[in-house]
Amino acid sequence: MPEPAQAANDESGDILLEVRNLKKYFPIEKGFFRSVQGYVKAVDDVSFTIREGETFGLVGESGSGKTTLGRCIVRAIESTDGQIFFRLPDGESVDLASLEKSDLRNVRKYFHMIFQDPYSSLDPRMSVLEIIAEPIRNNKLLSESRQIQDRVRELMDKVGLDIQHLNRYPHAFSGGQRQRIGIARSLAPSPSLIVCDEAVSALDVSIQAQILNLLEDLQEEFNLTFLFIAHDLSVVEHISDRVGVMYVGKLVELADTESLFSNPRHPYSEALLSAVPTTDPEVKMDRIILTGEVANPADPPSGCYFHPRCRYAQDICAQETPPWKEISARHFAACHFAEELELRGVGPER
Ligand code: SF4
């Protein structure tokens, strides 16, 4: 593994993934000749690491860049700049961002992305057998039909699907069952990293809990590492070891889950946490309503991107970009007043 990037986060444990200064800029083309007039900076200089066996939650409002970041990591889209170091099972580290397509083909089996919508992420013309077998065949992991069928049955059983339904098509399954099919497919080539992009957002609350429990069980059994992208902080709190908060393409806070939820150090995190529902009638809901729109990533404000919406903003906030600094052990934030502000978190009593 190469030298770690900026002090973006914790360095202990075996690092499976290191994202270093990653950028994804989408050009804005205008006019008859489609000349480039500017860029939408969807991901702007983001660095963090994920340890083996860890669940790293990534949160932020719609448009924060979290999904784009996940898609860059699995090379569903090309990043503009930066590096994505990924440790292969043999210990060798490769930079996914710069890997040639031919080499990428050989390592794709080690990471996978699960999508939000279990209705549209499965090909309706393929049976469950074909859907789950596809990555096995594509990666030439097994060749004989009998072996492939046995492996598909094994995976269906692991994710709680009835193996009798091997030849059914996606429309015959409920939303939760379809997400289980997607999870079985992602497990087929025995990956080490799974990027879950809003993987339970489209499901009913009771089904969400079942899928989250399944992911946790599978993580323990197969030593999986998750990058869990979600806007629902309750879900992220439940499943994550550490959490990163994104705002307009940048990481603004990163900490162990307990630390971030109980003691946020960035006003944006505080506002997001104030919207987490509580089941305790004694706990008074005092939601912080963010005024104004999320900043435009094509034309962000000066200084701290959050300053037009921040109730703690001072003059310096519009003038200078706040530095990324470690506020306490393993707790990082980018706010000029991260050490001083008395921000409200959510307690363990919820
Ligand atoms: Fe708010 Fe200023 Fe901190 Fe930005 S730097 S989050 S505007 S207090």
The 10s digit of each residue's pLDDT in 93-146 is 999 999 999 999 899 999 999 887 767 778 999 999 999 999 999 988 998 999
Computed over every residue of the chain, the mean pLDDT equals: 90
Q: Is the CB of 336 under 6 A from ligand 1?
A: yes
pLDDT at 116: 77
pLDDT of 1 strictly over 60: no
Q: Confirm or reject: Cβ of 322 under 6 Å from ligand 1.
A: yes
pLDDT recorded at residue 173: 92
Q: pTM score > 0.75 for this model? A: yes
Q: Looking at the CA of residue 268, tell me the nearest atom of ligand 1.
A: 6
For residue 13, name the pLDDT band (cuts at 50, 70, 90): low
Q: What ligand 1 atom has the least distance to the C-alpha of 307? A: 7
* Gap from CA of 230 to ligand 1 centroid (Å): 23
Q: What are phi and psi of 241, to 5 degrees?
A: -85, -40
Q: Give residue limits of the domains in the chain.
A: 4-344
305 lines ligand 1 (CB under 6 A): no
Q: Which of 175, 139, 140, 133 is nearest to 155 (CA)?
A: 133
- Decide: 310 in ligand 1 pocket, CB within 6 A: yes
Ligand 1 centre to CA of 287 (Å) is: 19
In this structure, the residue with its CA closest to atom 7 of ligand 1 is 307
Say which residue, 316 or 198, is predicted with more confidence.
Answer: 316
| pLDDT-derived band at 337, boundaries 50, 70, 90 | very high
* Residues 82-116 as b or e (16 or more Cβ within 10 Å = b): bbbbbbeeeeeebebbebeeeeeeebbbbbbbbbb
State the pLDDT confidence band at 293, using cuts at 50, 70 and 90.
confident
Mutate to test the pocket of ligand 1, among 246, 268, 324, 336 (most ligand atoms within 8 A of CB): 336
CA distances to 10, 11, 99 from 51, in Å = 9, 8, 21
**Mean local confidence (pLDDT), 239-263:** 96
User: Quick check: CB of 250 below 6 Å from ligand 1?
Assistant: no
The ligand 1 atom nearest the CA atom of 311: 1
* pLDDT surpasses 90 at 187: yes
- Could you tell me the distance, in angstroms and rounded to a whole number, from the CA of residue 293 to the centre of ligand 1? 16
Q: Which pLDDT does position 92 carry in this prediction? A: 92
Instruction: Say how far residue 315 (Cα) sits from the centre of its chain.
Output: 33
| Cβ of 307 below 6 Å from ligand 1 | yes
Q: Please indicate whether residue 252, judged by its CB atom, sits closer than 6 Å to ligand 1.
A: no
**CB 327 near ligand 1, within 6 Å:** no
Task: Report, as an integer, the average pLDDT of 217-226.
Answer: 95
Burial of residue 282 (number of CB atoms within 10 Å: 0-12, 13-18, 19+): exposed
* Of the candidate ranges 13-17, 77-81, 267-271, the one whose mean pLDDT is the lowest: 13-17
Position 294 confidence tier, pLDDT thresholds 50, 70, 90: confident
Lowest mean pLDDT across 89-98, 107-116, 289-298, 318-327? 289-298
Query: Does the beta carbon of 304 lie inside 6 Å of ligand 1?
Result: yes
Q: Let me know if domain 4-344 sits in CATH 3.40.50.10470.
A: no
The confidence band for 347, taking pLDDT boundaries of 50, 70 and 90, is low
What confidence category does residue 281 fall into, taking pLDDT thresholds of 50, 70 and 90? low
Residue nearest to atom 5 of ligand 1 (CA): 335
Minimal-distance CA residue to ligand 1 atom 3: 335
Q: How confident is the model at residue 6 (pLDDT cuts 50, 70, 90)?
A: very low
Average pLDDT over residues 236-259: 96
Window from 107-121, 177-191, 248-262 with minimum mean pLDDT: 107-121
Stronger pLDDT, 185 or 288, i.e. the higher one = 185
**Model pLDDT, residue 52:** 95
- Collapsing DSSP states into helix, strand and coil, what is residue 195? strand
Does residue 305 register a pLDDT over 80?
Answer: yes
Mean pLDDT of 201-216: 89
Does the beta carbon of 337 sit less than 6 angstroms from any atom of ligand 1?
Answer: yes
> Across residues 32-41, what is the average pLDDT?
88
Q: Is the CB of 247 under 6 A from ligand 1?
A: no
Q: Which residues contact 28 (CB under 8 A, 6 or more apart)?
A: 36, 37, 38, 39, 40, 298
